[in-house]
Amino acid sequence: MKKITLLVVLLAVNVFVYSQRAGRRRIAVSLIPQPVSLVQGTGDFTIPKQVTIITSKNAALTKIAKQLADRISTSSEYSVTIKEGTVPVTRSIFLSLSSDVSIPKEGYRLKVTTGGISITATEPAGIFYGVQTLLQLLRYFEAPNEAGINTWNVGVVTIEDHPRFGWRGLMLDVSRHFFTKEQVKDFIDDMVKYKFNLLHWHLSDDQGWRIEIKSLPKLTSVGAWRVDKTGTFGSFSPPAPNEPRTYGGFYTQEDIKEIVQYAKERYVNILPEIDIPGHSLAAIASYPELACTPGTYAVNSGEQLMVWPAGGHFYGLLDNSLCPANEKVYEFLDKVFTEVAQLFPFEYIHMGGDETARNFWEKSDAIKTLMQKENLKNLDEVQSYFVKRVEKIISAKGKKLIGWDEILDGGLPSNAAVMSWRGMKGGIEAARQGHEVVMSPTDFVYLDYMQGDAAIEPPVYATLRLKKTYQFEPVPAGVNPALIKGGQANIWTEQIYNTRHLQYMVWPRAFAVAEVLWSPKEKRDWNDFTRRVEDHFSRLDAAGTNYARSMYDPEFMISKKDTTLIVAMATEIEGLTIHYSFDNSFPDQFYPKYTAPLAVPKDAAVLKVITCRNGEPIGRMIMLTKEEMKKRTGSK
């Protein structure tokens, strides 16, 4: 996929720099994630126009070689031959499996000399990751060589590399907004460039059921479709009963098999999520008898569904939860998980378990009867009863259960794993109880949050800047690190309508997540990381991939002194200056430079700000009104 863009990408990035006095000089290598060990040499290997890839005799390696050949041969100037062999040949690319136990799981050794390239690993996954590194190393001379031919070059380098964590995930929500089979494949392609190996696929929610369950056809004939609305999700007007349900879609089981195989060939596991007992309105719209509350239900189209009082307990405006006291629910789930387990080879199935609105359970006679019968003291124990029954269903399919950290409430089955999203607290508690944990806290890795100031970002209820994401540490102090499987970033798509916006929200923050989960903790270096991020911006530009440039924008700290508003600003990367105006004009590099907190003039209506580097604007023009500044200080 994306073949036609690959050549452009390789031609656009990591251009070799020349010095008139010293001749050619070595450039800094810009790899993301940072490898365990990298030693640069002098000189280059120039990839010949007729290049040979030599592999050990192994079917998986042959597939990887074909993927690499496909990348190289996007240029009509290059042809690639794949051969089996046990020794490298001069001016070739050699991919070999080794019995060397000193190479860790998923690890590899990559060596570039002036005579060729070799990648060695103990398993095909390591070879695959070595190839991703090689593709990042490829350089292109800006000018033709002496013979007038454009050439691809790789600098002499020796790399020893392996991941810090085995679980390196991205979660994609396809329920709130649907993404096609090909778009999911594109997402996988982008993931693996940066060594992610787990796609958490959020397949059901209040706004859509996205997976074909043949024994329950209404899940897709009804649950996959809703009224099409555009604007700010969560604030839409309720759809009329006769409005056509034209927005949506689902993946057939053949689609699922195809995507699973596509991911497998790229060393990505897919974790399916069926979100229960809450977030189940699409299922209840399909089969209303699954709710505790009798009524007529429809798939949510983006109208308000939940209320979140400040400092209080959230509650639902209608019953969107499966009923733990209804035996039909467990029969339903047995059918669902039977088919899900057959489609996904990964060892875990995600049951959700988050944000269950229990106000309808509180009023349910069936729930009260269940509590008496099972001696359940409160609604935490009701949910725990549900979780334990779901765990038995999933276990019977040969799978392990994982869920959001709410599944801890009331007690957790002994062999369940926890994905901690409400900060690190749930993961810490789960690990202390001996459960395996995947860290996915909102305050570090929720990629649906705004990336910069709310004055310029598409509105979401919180901001998460790149620097904060880079500070993510999956292993808290005092926790057994063996129980922390790894981490992942989540992309909830309520406000993400299309792939361009999806890309904008993912990159570059996913670069930070990739480095946190792959690279040694002690190698983390913010300033060096941002240098490499900027180099990779050119790759994204060349590939036509959208991304956020928010790291160039300042952060605002608004306060009040007596009746005067005070604005403090800071940049998250080095080397930037901030320029501003209060007179309604648009500042540039010639405007006043910010050096200390600003007192907002009494009659000014708006502050306009832009960042510059080396005397040229680099950030976005940001306009902050006085009304907004007052709002942020809680004043009128």
Q: Tens digits of per-residue pLDDT, 51-93?
A: 999 998 999 999 999 999 998 887 667 899 999 998 888 999 9
Q: How far apart are the first and last CA of the chain?
A: 54
**Position 146 confidence tier, pLDDT thresholds 50, 70, 90:** low
Domain membership of residue 30 (yes or no) is yes
Domain match, 136 and 285 both: no
Strand ranges for 279-420 from DSSP E:
306-307, 315-316, 348-352, 400-404, 417-420
Residues 6+ apart with CB under 8 A from 427: 405, 418, 420, 437, 438, 439, 441, 476, 479, 484
Q: Which amino acid is at 591?
A: Y
Q: Alpha-carbon distance 89 to 86, whole Å?
A: 10
3 state DSSP class of 305: coil
Q: Which helix (H) or strand (E) holds 4?
A: helix 3-12
Q: Alpha-carbon distance 297 to 520, whole Å?
A: 50
Give pLDDT, residue 144. Answer: 46
> At 175, phi and psi to the nearest 5?
-85, -50
**Position 19 confidence tier, pLDDT thresholds 50, 70, 90:** very low
Give pLDDT, residue 129. Answer: 98
In the DSSP assignment, the letter for residue 207 is: T
**Per-residue pLDDT tens over the stretch 394-439:** 999 999 999 999 999 999 999 999 999 999 999 999 999 999 999 9
Q: Tokens standing for 492? A: 């909830």
Q: Alpha-carbon distance 464 to 466, whole Å?
A: 7
- Would the pLDDT of 123 be above 80? yes
CATH code where residue 35 lies: 3.30.379.10
Give pLDDT, residue 207. Answer: 98
- Would the pLDDT of 224 be above 50? yes
Report how far apart, in Å, the C-alpha atoms of 334 and of each of 24, 175, 272, 391, 392 are: 65, 21, 15, 11, 10
* Per-position DSSP letters for 432-474, written without gaps between them: HTT--EEE--HHHHBTTSBSS-TTTSPP-S-B--HHHHHT--S
**Position 140 confidence tier, pLDDT thresholds 50, 70, 90:** low
Domain match, 212 and 100 both: no
Domain match, 499 and 585 both: no
Catalytic residue from among 202, 279, 435, 536: 279
Q: Alpha-carbon distance 559 to 569, whole Å?
A: 11
**Position 2 confidence tier, pLDDT thresholds 50, 70, 90:** very low
Q: Alpha-carbon distance 269 to 201, whole Å?
A: 10
**Position 310 confidence tier, pLDDT thresholds 50, 70, 90:** confident
Q: Alpha-carbon distance 308 to 487, whole Å?
A: 27
Q: Alpha-carbon distance 232 to 302, whole Å?
A: 8
CATH code where residue 593 lies: 2.60.40
**Among 132, 161, 190, which residue terminates a domain?**
161
Q: Alpha-carbon distance 480 to 432, whole Å?
A: 8
Q: Which amino acid is at 521?
A: K
Domain match, 203 and 119 both: no
pTM: 0.94
279 assigned to active site: yes
Q: Alpha-carbon distance 174 to 492, whole Å?
A: 8
Q: Say if CB 311 and CB 305 are below 8 A apart.
A: no
Q: Bridge partners of 559?
A: 566
Domain match, 511 and 568 both: no
In the DSSP assignment, the letter for residue 406 is: G
Q: Which helix (H) or strand (E) holds 199?
A: strand 198-202
Domain match, 613 and 514 both: no
Domain match, 211 and 226 both: yes
Q: Alpha-carbon distance 7 to 14, whole Å?
A: 13
Q: Say if CB 27 and CB 155 are below 8 A apart.
A: yes
**Among 161, 193, 215, which residue terminates a domain?**
161
3 state DSSP class of 399: coil
355 assigned to active site: yes
Domain membership of residue 487 (yes or no) is yes
Report how far apart, in Å, the C-alpha atoms of 313 and of each of 335, 356, 406 are: 33, 11, 14
In the DSSP assignment, the letter for residue 251 is: B
Give pLDDT, residue 151. Answer: 73
**Per-residue pLDDT tens over the stretch 369-380:** 999 999 999 999
- C-alpha angle 80-85-91 in degrees, rounded to nearest 5: 50
Domain match, 218 and 347 both: yes
**Per-residue pLDDT tens over the stretch 504-518:** 999 999 999 999 999
Domain match, 175 and 321 both: yes
Domain membership of residue 548 (yes or no) is no
User: How crowded is residue 304: how many other Cβ atoms within 10 Å of its Cβ?
Assistant: 13
**Among 478, 508, 543, which residue terminates a domain?**
543
Task: Tell me what the pLDDT averaged over the chain comes to.
Answer: 93
Domain match, 81 and 229 both: no
* Per-position DSSP letters for 9-41, written without gaps between them: HHHHSSPPPEETTTEE-PPPP--SSPPSEEEEE
**Per-residue pLDDT tens over the stretch 183-221:** 999 999 999 999 999 999 999 999 999 999 999 999 999
Q: Tokens standing for 125? A: 């996954």
Structural domain count, the chain: 3
In the DSSP assignment, the letter for residue 392 is: H
Mean pLDDT of 25-38: 86
CATH code where residue 322 lies: 3.20.20.80
- Would the pLDDT of 6 be above 50? no
Q: Tokens standing for 318? A: 């209608």
Q: Which helix (H) or strand (E) holds 569?
A: strand 564-570
Of the chain, the percentage scoring pLDDT greater than 90 comes to: 89
**Per-residue pLDDT tens over the stretch 554-581:** 999 999 999 999 999 999 999 999 999 9
Q: Alpha-carbon distance 471 to 577, whole Å?
A: 24
> At 362, phi and psi to the nearest 5?
-60, -30
Domain match, 77 and 176 both: no
In the DSSP assignment, the letter for residue 551 is: G
Domain membership of residue 422 (yes or no) is yes
Q: Which helix (H) or strand (E) holds 70?
A: helix 59-72
Q: Say if CB 110 and CB 127 are below 8 A apart.
A: no
- Would the pLDDT of 284 be above 70? yes
123 assigned to active site: no
Q: Tokens standing for 603? A: 């009659």
- Would the pLDDT of 8 be above 70? no
Catalytic residue from among 228, 303, 355, 381: 355
Domain membership of residue 456 (yes or no) is yes
Q: Which amino acid is at 556?
A: F
- Would the pLDDT of 341 be above 70? yes
Give pLDDT, residue 27. Answer: 64
Domain match, 104 and 225 both: no
Give pLDDT, residue 149. Answer: 54
Q: Alpha-carbon distance 37 to 522, whole Å?
A: 12
Domain membership of residue 567 (yes or no) is yes
* Per-position DSSP letters for 94-160, written without gaps between them: EEEE---TTSPTT-EEEEEETTEEEEEESSHHHHHHHHHHHHHH-EE-SS--TTS---EEEEEEEEE
Give pLDDT, residue 26. Answer: 53
> Domain residues for 497?
167-543
Catalytic residue from among 161, 190, 205, 535: 205
Domain membership of residue 214 (yes or no) is yes
**Position 239 confidence tier, pLDDT thresholds 50, 70, 90:** very high
Domain membership of residue 450 (yes or no) is yes
